[in-house]
């Protein structure tokens, strides 16, 4: 319960499946959680649930593709909850179709949300962490970044970029005692996966195919990811940086 006591944590996409589970887990570990999301009502619901359970949380509307909005939300967080100790870059978006059938406007949106948004958040919080000589950053990528994924070319490219960015920042900021690590979800039972399935000829068959391919025989649950993220956000991971962890039930076993 005291792993993250009195530490302030920002979770982007905090109202979604993995994001909300992460917010709740970090709050249960003692963190003061800033729930960042485009949907303020949904973010407020997550924050209210945390407070009702005895935790500390506040909701902030934030469009991570807008640097001014990011700076304003981070400033509001620090004014209300204190300096940022933990950043979880979780927000993401995908479109599932073959690359040659995608359009440049879709590339722009994918890159803006999945890569540039993380750049904005990192650029906003890293100077303060470096000045305080302390911080934990967890970037949520995807196993699509490590092994590719048909129908997710640009998404995979963004997540691959996020992995490379994380390793570079881990090197640059190790001397500041800032840990930067990556969690890669496999197929996870979220609205994003449901949206992908809806675009298939037979959504139920696609979901069953995912389950059959996973050695543990089930889809990941948001809580599975939240546990891994909470580990990297804690001092249990104090001597771990620049690492990539797949949470996929054994679907991917990258060395």
Active site residues: 155
Give the DSSP letter of residue 62: -
**Token digits of residue 78:** 């620090």
What burial class does residue 204 get, using C-beta atoms within 10 Å of its C-beta: 0-12 exposed, 13-18 middle, 19+ buried? exposed
Q: Are strands 135-140 and 84-89 parallel, antiparallel or unpaired?
A: parallel
Start-to-end CA distance of the chain, whole Å, equals 32
- Under DSSP, is residue 23 helix (H, G, I), strand (E, B) or coil? helix
Nearest of 48, 104, 86, 98 to residue 179 by alpha carbon: 86
Nearest of 165, 136, 166, 124 to residue 229 by alpha carbon: 136
């Amino acid at each position: 319960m005291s792993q993250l006591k009195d530490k302030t944590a920002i979770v982007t996409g905090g109202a979604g499946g993995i994001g909300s589970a992460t917010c709740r887990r970090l709050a249960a570990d003692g963190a003061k959680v800033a729930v960042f999301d485009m949907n303020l009502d949904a973010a407020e619901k997550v924050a209210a649930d945390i407070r009702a359970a005895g935790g500390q949380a506040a909701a902030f509307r934030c469009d991570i593709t807008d640097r001014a909005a990011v700076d304003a939300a981070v400033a509001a967080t620090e004014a209300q909850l204190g300096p940022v100790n933990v950043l979880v870059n979780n927000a993401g978006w995908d479109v599932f179709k073959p690359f040659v059938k995608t359009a440049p406007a879709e590339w722009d949106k994918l890159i803006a949300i999945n890569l540039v948004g993380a750049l904005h958040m990192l650029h906003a919080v890293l100077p303060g962490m470096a000045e305080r000589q302390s911080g934990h950053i967890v970037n949520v990528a995807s196993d699509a970044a490590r092994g590719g994924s048909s129908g997710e070319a640009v998404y995979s490219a963004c997540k691959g970029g996020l992995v490379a960015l994380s390793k570079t920042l881990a090197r640059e900021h190790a001397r500041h005692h800032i840990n930067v690590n990556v969690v890669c979800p496999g197929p996870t039972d979220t609205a994003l996966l449901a949206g992908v399935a809806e675009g298939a000829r037979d959504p139920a068959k696609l979901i069953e195919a995912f389950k059959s391919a996973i050695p543990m025989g089930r889809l990941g649950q948001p809580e599975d990811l939240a546990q891994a993220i909470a580990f990297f956000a804690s001092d249990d991971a104090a001597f771990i940086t620049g690492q990539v962890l797949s949470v996929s039930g054994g679907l991917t076993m990258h060395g």
